[in-house]
Structure 1
Amino acid sequence: MSTKERILHTLLFELLALLLITLLGPLLIPVASHTLAGIAILLSLIAMGWNYGYNLAFDRLFGADRQTRSPLLRLVHGLGFELGLLPLTLPVLMWTLSMSLWQVLLLDIGAILFFLVYAIAFNWGYDKVRARPGLCGS
């Protein structure tokens, strides 16, 4: 993937995630919608930076041919991303939500499970669309 496409991939991923969080978040977290939106944007910016570097390193380690990745490798990819993001998000959530480490850890575990499924589905779908002739330089 080129740098331009990596940025597009990250933006699409985060915009869809923001939409989902904005719609579903208030049902799960007792926080005002505007507060949740602000937290989601902040976490999205953190995740975008992590996403770019993580995916660049992952592609270098496991090859850039994303079409041949097995379901197991996709699971490893998703878990690695989420576990690496955890130390970046916990302090932000503790500060913005005024919650303890334990409360935020439980909240973040729920988010990790959601985003693990979301990331695998998004990336698999993105790779399928990307592989179509005439798209993304194919």
Structure 2
Amino acid sequence: MRSTPDRIRQAVSFELIGILIVTPLFAWAFDHPMGDMGILVVLGATAATAWNYLFNLGFDHLLNWRRGDVRKTLPLRVVHAVLFEATLLVLLLPLFAWWLDVSLLAALVMEISFATFYMVYAFVFTWGYDTLFPPQQVRQGGL
């Protein structure tokens, strides 16, 4: 298990490194000024973090109301992940289109690219982080 300070270090470093990589990469890939892309990336990361909290809170309340239990089965986890990404995309789509002055279709392509990048980045980052800062082993025992 990770301590709270370690989890904070992991989350902050994930966001900062992600912003430092994705801003110049996507400014170049989509031919937009670095400043415009940087602001959009920071706004998107902030919105994703806030939405993550609100979405998970609402999802858990819905599960508790409907089932009396917040534990998720594998199929429910897939539904949860897809709904989170789809709703985040819908929330951010107008912001991307307006901020970069592009069509909704162009903004959709950008958002799908961002989501794909962050999915791969999260895998690589977490693997690297776990290698540099291995989690503490928790002894399994009876309670």
Partner of 1:111: 114
Partner of 2:36: 35
- 1:26 Cα deviation from its structure 2 partner: 2.4
Partner of 2:22: 21
Equivalent AA in structure 2 for residue 93 of structure 1: F
After superposition, the Cα gap between the structure-2 partners of 1:9 and 1:2, relative to the gap in structure 1 and judged at 3 Å, is: same
Asked which structure has the greater CA Rg, the reply is 2
Among 82, 86, 90, the residue aligned to 1:87: 90
Contact 2:27 2:33 in 1 (8 A): yes
CA–CA distance in structure 2, aligned partners of residues 77 and 119 of structure 1: 18
After superposition, the Cα gap between the structure-2 partners of 1:51 and 1:125, relative to the gap in structure 1 and judged at 3 Å, is: farther
Equivalent AA in structure 2 for residue 92 of structure 1: L
Q: So what's the TM-score if we normalise by structure 2?
A: 0.63
Is 1:47 aligned to 2:48, yes or no? yes
After superposition, the Cα gap between the structure-2 partners of 1:5 and 1:88, relative to the gap in structure 1 and judged at 3 Å, is: farther
Q: So what's the TM-score if we normalise by structure 1?
A: 0.65
CA–CA distance in structure 2, aligned partners of residues 9 and 77 of structure 1: 23
Farther-moved stretch of structure 1 (8-17 vs 45-54): 45-54
CA–CA distance in structure 1, aligned partners of residues 127 and 79 of structure 2: 13
Per-residue CA deviations over 1:55-98 (Å, capped at 9, x if unaligned) read 7879x645xxxxxxxxxxx9988766543421222121011012
Number of residue pairs the alignment of both structures matches: 126
Among 109, 125, 132, the residue aligned to 1:122: 125
Contact 1:78 1:116 in 2 (8 A): no
**Structure with the greater relative contact order (CA < 8 A, sep ≥ 6): 1 or 2?**
2
Contact 1:18 1:41 in 2 (8 A): yes
SS of residue paired to 1:9: helix
CA–CA distance in structure 1, aligned partners of residues 53 and 127 of structure 2: 17
